[in-house]
Amino acid sequence: MLAAFAGMLALASSQGICRFVYTPILPAMAAGLGLGPSTAGLIASANFLGYLSGAIAAMAKRLPGGRRAWFVGSLCVSALSTAAMGVASGLPAYLALRFAGGASGAFVLVLATAAVLETLAEAGRSRLGALHYAGVGVGIVLSALIVAMLEASGAGWRTLWIVAGLIALVLVQLPARVLRWRAPVAGAAAQAAPMHRGVLPLTFCQFLYGAGYAVTATFLIAMVRSAPATRAVEPLIWTVVGLAAAPSLLLWLWVSARIGPRRAYAAAALLEAAGVLMAGGWPTPAGLLAGAALLGGTFMGLTALSFAVARELGPGAQERQIAILTTGFSVGQALGPLLGGALAEASGSFWSASALAAAALLLAAVLILATRPRSAVT
């Protein structure tokens, strides 16, 4: 139980706050600095590229200094780089800080998830993994409330970044003390649990999921602001995403236990595709709120279910498998908004971008059901 709670705080800090707080802060930051959509998107892309770099680096079989040192260091870098956005000046500094935040956040996700799932599996309490993954939703809600309260008190965008980073730093204390990792197994024992080829098609599904999810996650606030009739729900949108995300893993674990993680993954992808289409093609308060709820209710479910499918392939190389899946997701996450933004600019609406994102999610649902585990590779 303590390990799951510590994992929840780690993800709330590095993912829910540090990774996603850019979305609610962006309007104030853009107004204060006169940022156009292309520059705002570039800053977001720096975080995505950092996330990709961190996921690739986390695939290393050995990390100099040990996993705990990298985990604690990444938690601190994630929080401090977030706070530093409030005191930095100039586009190069913003790009560097968001890149560092993305890379450190990927390390935290990979290392924390591996430690928590292994600890819970040994204790026979794997279902508590839902508490660990709920951290993302908890952090999103917390960041939405922080931004809303500070803006209501007249705080500027720099204060928003600083306070968010400091709160994220406070949350790292328990995870840094509680989570532990096994020492790497050497020699023949390490070869007894190799990584499976089935991870590769699963990684492509994660690429498609990343591309589809990121379009709506990146442009959701812009979708709200694109029509006067929907601006009244802007303060609620990000909170709805977080509130839907926090308990979603309980639902998806229940579904997975009954129909299997592959079918549950397909169901979540189909629901997320529906949410993407609602947000981009139904520009009303009801459409956007429904889209936000479906996005929040599925995006962490898809991540957790992908890890569950990977665990079905075999008990070994879990950190590498999680890192590879995170890499596939990160590539899609980086490319999706670029293509989606170009389509939105060319067409004058978010419908075409949302339709393409939904198609990617539909394809992921089909592929996860069509592919089956094959032989293992080291």
- Judgement on whether residues 220 and 128 belong to the same structural domain of the protein: no
Report the mean per-residue pLDDT for the chain. 82
- Judgement on whether residues 44 and 16 belong to the same structural domain of the protein: yes
Domain end position, chosen among 116, 150, 180: 180
- Judgement on whether residues 173 and 215 belong to the same structural domain of the protein: no
- Name the H helices within the chain: 2-11, 22-33, 37-57, 67-84, 91-123, 129-152, 157-170, 173-178, 188-191, 199-225, 234-245, 248-259, 261-281, 285-312, 318-347, 351-370
Output b/e per residue, 350-372; b: 16+ Cβ within 10 A.
bbbbbbbbbbbbbbbbebbeebe
- Judgement on whether residues 133 and 200 belong to the same structural domain of the protein: no
Residue 153 lies in a domain: yes
Lowest mean per-residue pLDDT among 26-30, 80-84, 202-206, 335-339: 335-339
**Range(s) of the domain holding residue 56:** 1-180
pLDDT of residue 61: 67
Residue 318 to residue 320: CA distance in whole angstroms: 5
Which pair of tokens denotes residue 110? 């990979």
- Judgement on whether residues 357 and 310 belong to the same structural domain of the protein: yes
pLDDT of residue 120: 77
pLDDT band at 194 (very low <50, low <70, confident <90, very high): low
Residue 189 lies in a domain: no
pLDDT tens-digit profile of 23-72? 888 878 888 898 776 777 778 878 888 988 887 787 676 777 777 888 88
pLDDT of residue 125: 72
Residue 190 lies in a domain: no
Residue 185 lies in a domain: no
pLDDT tens-digit profile of 143-175? 888 888 898 898 999 999 999 999 999 998 888
pTM: predicted TM-score of the whole model, two decimal places: 0.79
- Judgement on whether residues 294 and 167 belong to the same structural domain of the protein: no
- Judgement on whether residues 167 and 129 belong to the same structural domain of the protein: yes
Output the domain CATH number for residue 326.
1.20.1250.20
- Judgement on whether residues 9 and 96 belong to the same structural domain of the protein: yes
Of 207, 378, 180, 203, nearest in space to 307 by CA: 203
